[in-house]
Amino acid sequence: MKKLINSPETVVTEALEGVAAAHPSLSVDVENKVITRAGGPTPDKVGLVSGGGSGHEPLHGGFVGYGMLDAACPGEVFTSPVPDQMLAATQAVNGGAGVLHVVKNYTGDVLNFQMAAEMAEDEGIEVVPVVINDDVAVEDSLYTAGRRGTGATVFVEKIAGALAEQGAGLAAVAAVAREVNERSRSFGVALSSCVVPAAGKPTFELGEAEAELGIGIHGEPGRTRAALTPARDLAAVALDAIRSDLPVRGDLLVMVNGMGGTPLIELYLMFNEVRKYVEGHGGHVARNLVGNYITSLEMQGFSVTVCQLTDTLTPLWDAPVDTPALRWGR
Amino acid sequence: MKKLINSPETVVTEALEGVAAAHPSLSVDVENKVITRAGGPTPDKVGLVSGGGSGHEPLHGGFVGYGMLDAACPGEVFTSPVPDQMLAATQAVNGGAGVLHVVKNYTGDVLNFQMAAEMAEDEGIEVVPVVINDDVAVEDSLYTAGRRGTGATVFVEKIAGALAEQGAGLAAVAAVAREVNERSRSFGVALSSCVVPAAGKPTFELGEAEAELGIGIHGEPGRTRAALTPARDLAAVALDAIRSDLPVRGDLLVMVNGMGGTPLIELYLMFNEVRKYVEGHGGHVARNLVGNYITSLEMQGFSVTVCQLTDTLTPLWDAPVDTPALRWGR
């Protein structure tokens, strides 16, 4: 196992110490694994909390800040955070207007966020959960009933975060989060496995000339294993799958996301192929993200996420954001 | 070779098409491989041009924009751009106040930038080159006489770019660029090789439990090959080497940079070790960058760059910047 770590047991804690030291805009409770904005809760603003297993950085901690999340609770690598963490995060960001839980659709995350929401409600904090399930690759995968939640999480956190920042109420913020999820679809491709530190060996094996089409963000199996083909063919595989479930017409927000071990030069090349495909099918890439936003440790590969924009969603995407990993307009 | 590409010959051109499509703030001449700000040259502002082989993204194209570079010219992967590219970039950004060339110390880059400067001077454009040579690992490496230029390039482009944006003249902008270079040192460690697309195989071979200490950004040999040790020991190796050449005391700007294939969670953990080392030696990490800024394709590993800040340099680092890869304060 080739990793920049001290020991598998302390990876998450030590990385959180690094996050705390690197970003004065964040307040990091390393012991309880809760990342919040340094300024404390914003009075009368809906609080946004997300969380999930570590190993997907910058998701979620890198998206805590003005215009996006109020808190993130990271679990151990590829392991759901516990309800106590989620409750602590919910309490910490409660400004009196209720709290939105952004939950990726994995069984552990969904159950634990549900327990945390019940505990918070017992304390008089109104909580609404929104479950993200944008990955069209497979139904009922390892760890998941239904579709997996992947790249759309970034879009939901940004757009719902912007609406919350503008002072909208909990019902409206939850509604736009659900709308973004419903209008978004993703598909991922792996060229290599990742290595979970505690396991010490690759999660799966891929041949020298193979790719896993429809990979999950924890290395869960996709639709099929196939020969590694040129970038334009991989773009078509991903977008054919997305398009079978959601038209890629009109103004679109498109993310070409790196899985963690793929260099930026390849992501830009892949974005170019995605853009050409979309334009060839009547769509227009009105907004984009190209880079590492929801990763799977050192896995090589990419995912594409497409969101159908509307006259309401585009300005919320464009609204100012100031987080470690996403920052513009302020 | 596992890469998201169509063919080795078209990687750079197709990636540039992706950059052009992703960033409306940039103007990309794909044929001549020149990236400039979309708005054209800023009248009476010193223009900043950098360039070098591709494969180090986001360097340099990702640093073109307000407060940083005016143009970048990417060569083929790990290959110097040609003088004609550099001349075209110099002409494109000439606002009448002269042009600074930020040149990493590799023989091809230095010679080609020198030829481009002479051609530009023949056209009446004043050009001053600043050569970056911050890598303490080795002297007279493959491709280089003297020390290699690596991470300090990011600091120079940011700080000199800020001073140029404030309206300083060419001599002052060049002086601050030289000062940042002189006050900065770097050291890199590789856990794996990279694969140049045209070569199709790893540049070098590393054993399962080995690391290359003092790696160059093109996979050039470092000081020694050693057993892969815990992160805290690797931080000490890098910082011992830096500290033997530059005191790490006082307020420091520190970058923990990923080589391209290392996930962010490991970079934050490594940053934590670097911070602890610095604090243990009388230094203070006053500013930082943690992420992929000057990469070597899909190489796993990291580099540390340390710059001794001053009362002049810190505000220039903090000044607004608006580029694809570095953005704050505006």
Q: Is A108 a member of any domain?
A: yes
Residues B145 and B131 in one domain: yes
Residues A168 and A269 in one domain: no
Looking at the 3D structure of chain A, how many domains does it have? 2
Residues A174 and A221 in one domain: no
Q: Is A114 a member of any domain?
A: yes
Domain C-terminal end among A183, A199, A231: A183
Residues A39 and A122 in one domain: yes
CB A144 within 8 A of CB A106: yes
User: Does the annotation count B218 as an active-site position?
Assistant: yes
Cα A139 to Cα A207, A229, B101: the distances in Å are: 25, 25, 54
Q: What is the pLDDT of residue B50?
A: 98
Residues B162 and B218 in one domain: no
Q: Is B218 a member of any domain?
A: yes
Q: Are B261 and A18 inside 8 Å of each other by CB?
A: no
Residues B133 and B280 in one domain: no
Q: Is A323 a member of any domain?
A: no
Q: Is B330 a member of any domain?
A: no
Residues A190 and A108 in one domain: no
Q: What number of other Cβ atoms are within 10 A of residue B264's Cβ?
A: 27
Q: Is B269 a member of any domain?
A: yes
Vertex B134, ends B131 and B140: CA angle to 5°? 80
CB B88 within 8 A of CB B28: no
Please count the CA atoms within 13 angstroms of the CA of A301 that sit on its side-chain side. 32
Range B139-143, long-range pairs (CB < 8 A, 24+ positions): B141/B216, B141/B220, B141/B221, B142/B216, B142/B218, B142/B220, B142/B221, B143/B106, B143/B107, B143/B108, B143/B216, B143/B218, B143/B220
Selecting among A56, A101, A281, A284, the annotated active-site residue is: A56
Q: Is A326 a member of any domain?
A: no
Residues B117 and B168 in one domain: yes
Domain C-terminal end among A183, A198, A228: A183
- Residue B24: which domain range? 8-183
Say which CATH number the domain at B44 has: 3.40.50.10440
Q: Are A57 and B268 inside 8 Å of each other by CB?
A: yes
Domain C-terminal end among B183, B211, B246: B183
Residues A27 and A159 in one domain: yes
- ipTM (interface predicted TM): 0.98
Q: Are B268 and A234 inside 8 Å of each other by CB?
A: no
Selecting among B23, B60, B101, B218, the annotated active-site residue is: B218
Residues B25 and B167 in one domain: yes
Can you tell me the mean pLDDT for B104-121? 97
Q: Are A300 and B261 inside 8 Å of each other by CB?
A: yes
Can you tell me the mean pLDDT for B54-65? 98
Residues A247 and A147 in one domain: no
Selecting among B56, B101, B281, B284, the annotated active-site residue is: B56
User: Does the annotation count A281 as an active-site position?
Assistant: no
Q: Give, for all 330 residues of chain A, the pLDDT tens digit.
A: 999 999 999 999 999 999 999 999 999 999 999 999 999 999 999 999 999 999 999 999 999 999 999 999 999 999 999 999 999 999 999 999 999 999 999 999 999 999 999 999 999 999 999 999 999 999 887 788 899 999 999 999 999 999 999 999 999 999 999 999 999 999 999 999 999 999 999 999 999 999 999 999 999 999 999 999 999 999 999 999 999 999 999 999 999 999 999 999 999 999 999 999 999 999 999 999 999 999 999 999 999 999 999 999 999 999 999 999 999 996
Q: Least CA distance to B6: which residue of chain A? A: A230
Nearest-CB residue to A2 (from B16, B55, B300):
B300
Residues B128 and B204 in one domain: no
Q: Is B236 a member of any domain?
A: yes
